[in-house]
Amino acid sequence: MKGFDISFVCVQDPPLYNGQPLRVPGYECISLTTTKVRMCTYVSLRVLLDISFVVVPRDQDILYLRIFAKEGFLLGNNRSLGIINTYNRQAEGDHTVTAEDLFVETNELTLVVGDLNIHTAYTDPLRSLEPGERRRGEHYMRLAALRGYNIINTPGIYTRFPDNPIIH
């Protein structure tokens, strides 16, 4: 990360040392203290001077940070920002994070990032989908749309991010 102007880095299934995510110089690591750390968010120490944040209790597979500007604005006219970092695992044919828990109703700008494991023809047009997989994925996308979330990356095109970050 050296040489980059990156404020937040969201990691799913992070490499661990003694059960904790690796430390990165210049960043504070925020993670949930569960039996196994499934995701973490690194926050630049430079940014920590200008913000405060709170971890919103949700689920062991969701790390929800609400970030507030100490003075001025974070983005445009927004004084706050939500970042929902998730590792939506599949267990016994179901997701561990429900669409309702993932796409929260909020009035602030909210970014949903992570290993979502949501597969639809819209987000991944070249993928061959089974009917159950398609139905589950469409439920997530329908609720996201109803709550005002939008996909911000190009469907089916993956560069450095394997799953779809979604913004509200």
Characterize 114-138 residue by residue with b for buried, 16 or more Cβ atoms within 10 angstroms of its Cβ, and e for exposed: bbbbbbbbebbeeeeeeeebeebbb
Share of the chain above pLDDT 70, in %: 89
The pLDDT tens digits of the residues spanning 92-146 come to 778 889 999 999 999 899 999 988 888 888 778 888 888 888 888 899 999 999 9
Over residues 63-69, mean pLDDT = 94
| φ and ψ at residue 28, rounded to 5 degrees | -95, 130
List the beta bridge partners of residue 56: 64
- Structural tokens at position 165: 């970050």
Mean pLDDT of 39-58: 92
Residue-number span of the structural domain to which 61 is assigned = 8-167
In a domain, 1, yes or no: no
Q: Is pLDDT larger for residue 35 or for residue 39?
A: 39
CA distance 65 to 110: 10
Residue 102 within a domain: yes
Q: What is the pLDDT of residue 131?
A: 85
Within a domain: 65: yes
Q: What is the pLDDT of residue 134?
A: 86
Q: Does some domain include residue 132?
A: yes
> Per the domain annotation, does 2 fall within a domain?
no
Domains in the chain, number: 1
Residue 67 inside a domain? The answer is yes
Provide the β-strand partners of residue 65: 55, 83
CB distance 56 to 108 below 8 Å: no
* Domain membership flag for residue 111: yes
Domain assignment of residue 3, yes or no: no
pLDDT class for 60, splitting at 50, 70, 90?
confident
> Positive or negative, the Cα torsion across 25, 28, 32, 38?
negative
User: Domain holding 159: CATH number?
Assistant: 3.60.10.10
